[in-house]
A and B are shown apart, each in its own frame.
Chain A
Amino acid sequence: MNYDVSLIFQIAGVGIVVAMIHTVLKQMGKEEIANWVTLIAFVVVLYMVATVVDDLFQKIRSVFLFQS
C-alpha cells in the first residue's frame, strides 16, 4: 500500500481541531471568524481529497483502456 494512509488521520485531526477552534471562537463571540475558519479548513481538506480522487480517475482511465 504505497499511498499515504496517514492522510486519513490528518483529515480527522483537522476536523477535530476545527471543531475545537469553532467552539472557542463561538464562546468569544466571534461567530463570523469561526465560520470562515471552518470554510477554509474545508477547502484545504477538499483539495487533499480532490488530489487523490484525480489520481484514482487517471488510474482507472489507464487501466480500463480509456486512453485509446
Chain B
Amino acid sequence: MEIIQIVGLGMIATFLALVVKEHKPIFAFLLTVFTGVIIFLFLIDKIAIMIEMIEELAINANVNLIYVQTIFKIIGIAYIAEFGAQIARDAGQGAIATKIELAGKVLIMIMAIPIISVIIETILTLIPAAMGDLS
C-alpha cells in the first residue's frame, strides 16, 4: 500500500506548508519543491520498471531501438519540463512557467525530427509519382 504513504506524505507536507507560509513563504515554497521531488523520486523506480518492459517488447517485435529510445527521451523531457513549469507557476512566475513549457515543446519537436523525416520518406516511396518528381 504505497499509495497511503504518498498521500500521507502529501497531506503532512501540505499542513506544514500552511503553517510555515504564514511567517516565511520562502520556506513553504522550498517545502513544496522538496515534497514534489520526493514523490517523483518514489515514482521513478516504477516508471523504470515500465520502461524496461516496453523496451523488451520492442526488442521482441524487432522495432528499431533508436525510435523507442527517442520516444523515451521525449517522455523524459515532458516530465522534467512539466515539473519545472509547475514549480515556477507555484511560485507565482507564470511567465517563466510558460517559457519552460515552450522550451520543452521545441526540444521535443527537435527530437522527433528523425522520426518525422523517416515517415515522410516512407510515404514518398509509397507514391511513385512523387518520387518521379523528386528525382
Residues of chain A whose beta carbon lies under 8 Å from any beta carbon of chain B: 1, 3, 5, 7-9, 11-12, 14-16, 18-19, 22, 38, 41-42, 45-46, 48-49, 52-53, 55-57, 59-61, 63-66, 68
B20 touches which one: A16, A63, A66, A68 (CB < 8 A)? A16
Which residues B50-74 have CB closer than 8 A to chain A? 51, 69, 72-73
Residues of chain B whose beta carbon lies under 8 Å from any beta carbon of chain A: 2, 5, 9, 12-13, 16-17, 19-20, 23-24, 26-28, 30-31, 33-35, 37-38, 40-42, 44, 47-48, 51, 69, 72-73, 75-76, 79-80
The 3 A-B residue pairs whose C-beta atoms are closest, nearest first, are A64-B76, A15-B27, A19-B23
- Report if A1-B30 is in contact (Cβ < 8 Å); known contacts: A8-B38, A56-B41: no
List, in ascending order, chain B residues with CB within 8 A of A11's CB: 27, 30-31, 34
**B30 A46 Cβ-Cβ under 8 A:** yes
- From B25, which residue of chain A is reached at the shortest CB distance? A15
- From B49, which residue of chain A is reached at the shortest CB distance? A63
Compute how far the CA of A61 lies from the CA of B73 in the bound complex, rounded to whole angstroms.
9
**B35 A64 Cβ-Cβ under 8 A:** no
- Report if A15-B44 is in contact (Cβ < 8 Å); known contacts: A8-B31, A68-B69: no
- Report if A63-B51 is in contact (Cβ < 8 Å); known contacts: A15-B31, A45-B30: yes
- From A63, which residue of chain B is reached at the shortest CB distance? B48
Name 19 A/B residue pairs within 8 A (Cβ), A-sorted: A1-B38, A3-B38, A5-B9, A5-B38, A11-B34, A15-B27, A15-B31, A19-B20, A19-B23, A49-B33, A49-B37, A52-B34, A53-B37, A56-B44, A59-B44, A60-B79, A64-B76, A65-B69, A66-B76
Compute how far the CA of A42 lies from the CA of B27 in the bound complex, rounded to whole angstroms.
7
Compute how far the CA of A63 lies from the CA of B49 in the bound complex, rounded to whole angstroms.
9
A64 touches which one: B9, B16, B38, B73 (CB < 8 A)? B73
B23 touches which one: A7, A8, A16 (CB < 8 A)? A16
CB distance from B64 to the nearest CB of A (A): 14
